[in-house]
A and B are shown apart, each in its own frame.
Chain A
Amino acid sequence: MSAKILALIPLLGWFYLSILGVVLIVGALHLFHKKNLAVIIEKIVVLGIACTALILAFGNIRKEWKETQKAWKSFRDSATAKINQEVGGNYRIYYKTLRPLVKNVHDVNLIGADAREYHFARMYLYPTLVLDAQTVNDGNTAYSIVPENLAERLDQYTEIARVDGHVLMQKKGADVR
């Protein structure tokens, strides 16, 4: 048991060992009625740590200043510009173009999209449920958003809209209300 406890000591490192050291010294001084000395030692330690913390803090604020200088370039852009910058074409594809077209559709297959695009599609087409599908036959929906190259091969589907390499397709003869 004692060997196990001894093995823990290196894990504590200077950080925890120095805390323990200060606590033991200050505690011992209190025990031997050297209260003034205990207060002085505590003050010296705390002042030393506070000064080091302050130096680190100023270093961090300098880093923040550098980040701010980089950020200033796009700070005054419009909200739409910032959205386009981050969201890319997804805002135009899903929110502006496809959303009005699937307004009354319960769910739609999304094929060939990565996780990031899927998240955007799922949000911008809400409340239409977007299914992360492998083929147009997944799920139980007559609608699919597929890449252009796949759209050419889907004979049983009709094209509804085409935007930036994405095609919204509807199954031919599907009973859509």
Chain B
Amino acid sequence: MFADMVLPIIGVMLPYLGVGLLLTRSSKKLREDGLEHLAVAFLLGAGVFTLWQFLGLLVGIPVFWSLRLGWLVGFIGCIDVLRHRSTFRIYTISTLVILVILPLFFIRSFSRIMYTWDTRAFWVPKMFALWQMDRLRPDALTAFNHPEYPLLLPMSGANAFSLFGFPNEVGAKVVLFGFTIALIVLFSRFLEKTVGGWKAAFWTLLFLSLFIVREHLAGEYVGTADILMGTYLAAGATQLLQKRKLLALALWSLAAWTKSEGLVWAVSTTGLVVIHEVLSKKKISISSYQALGTSLLVILPWFLYNKFSKLDSSQYFKFKEIYARPWVEYAIYSVHAFREEFRNLEKWNFVFYLFILKSLLSFRRIALDERLRIIYLALAAQLVMYLAIFTVTPEEQATFIAAAISRLTLHFVPTVLLVTAVLFSPAYKQTKV
């Protein structure tokens, strides 16, 4: 049991962290808070490293070798960070909340391997396939459901399998738990700085106690990518709210490498940031090109692979079907589905109550603040996209909504909570991006 836990930390999580530390080494502001730096570096490193492994597989570098090469890069990154001292503020009230709750999640998560339909039908099989293959050919993943889903999660699992030499799903879960730790640390550290100790503890406790969040971090849905998408959305939001635009866009773009729905978020946030830049500076500046370049570098590889491999990414976008059905009624039904979902206290406690109330009361503040405006518009675009998916789904609408709505809502819940907390904070100052 001990090896199942320690090996993935050293063999997979450290390379992720090392790559992220190298990528963020020039960000002095980020270095000011050691814990936040580690969390951002892990998320960024995991995304970039697995994306690089995917490119490696395309040209015939198996996961086994790309992971070993990652050890070298990771080692350099970790050594580099030791040379620069960061401040670690760990004696905080929200750290206490985390230290009480995360072990509970850890024990529940590791008591069994992944077991939902989605994990057995394609997430874990993709881990297995990536671990086994020498080269990623266009039809390599078509044997499994949803071949068009991106590979951040499967590649992470494949790394763990490669480390053990057999499909050790417990090892894969250790790597996925790294994302959980990064999310919670980033969430609480940002709130500690923005709203203060006790309030940060309240929001952290509220977040970790949510039924759907617990099921995705520790229970039934561990091994599906929805919480990972929520993680990257929230991580990007924390960086934008701290005026680190490029870092925010990099993390947001990685949402497209996590789940297909993340593509909408990546494109909309990139567009919104660039449009805001152009409108405020009255010209296309270098930072606009940087923003565009960062997003395209992350989004394009998988997007192009999907297109050239003709993978079935149009499953939910059969627009022709709109004309053949009473689409207004379908759309109204979709709206009602979210109306019901948001007020489900069993699942979401009072998260959406506080969010909707404070958003309506702070309408002017949101409209005047560029950073909040970008996040709200992106949230709106994402919600509209989900409404459209529910409306045009080829499956029976009610069944599809019942199966998917909680997972889709989870995508933006961490971000919604962060924004709500910020709106309640008088200390947060509105500024331009």
Contact = CB atoms under 8 A, between A and B. Distances in A.
B104 A19 contact: no
Interface in A33-57: 42, 45-46, 49-50, 52-54, 56-57
Interface stretch (B167-175, B257-265, B311-319): B167-175
B392 to A, nearest CB: 24
A119 B353 contact: no
Contact of B202 (A50, A61, A116): A50
Contacts of B120: 116, 119-120, 123
Contact of A123 (B105, B128, B206): B128
18 contacts: A15-B342, A22-B357, A50-B350, A57-B209, A61-B101, A61-B104, A61-B205, A64-B104, A67-B104, A70-B111, A74-B111, A74-B112, A79-B1, A79-B4, A86-B112, A87-B113, A122-B144, A127-B140
Contacts, number: 146
B209 A60 contact: yes
Given A64-B218, A86-B113, A75 B143 contact: no
Contacts of B72: none
Given A82-B170, A85-B112, A122 B356 contact: no
Given A60-B210, A79-B169, A79-B170, A122 B107 contact: no
A77 B115 contact: no
Interface of A: 11-13, 15-16, 19, 22-23, 26, 42, 45-46, 49-50, 52-54, 56-58, 60-61, 64-65, 67-68, 70-79, 82-83, 85-87, 95, 116, 119-120, 122-124, 126-127, 129-130
Given A79-B170, A122-B144, 17 more contacts: A15-B353, A19-B360, A23-B357, A46-B358, A50-B350, A53-B206, A57-B205, A61-B101, A75-B110, A78-B1, A82-B112, A82-B169, A83-B168, A83-B170, A119-B125, A127-B129, A129-B143
A127 B136 CA distance: 12
Interface of B: 1, 4, 101, 104-105, 107-108, 110-115, 120-121, 124-125, 128-129, 132-133, 140, 143-144, 164, 167-171, 202, 205-206, 208-211, 214, 218-219, 336, 339, 342-343, 345, 349-351, 353-354, 356-358, 360-361, 424
Listed from nearest, the 3 A-B pairs whose CB atoms lie closest are A71-B111, A57-B209, A123-B125
A122 B125 CA distance: 8
A56 B107 contact: no
A65 B104 CA distance: 7
Contacts of A46: 354, 357-358, 424
A127 B124 CA distance: 14
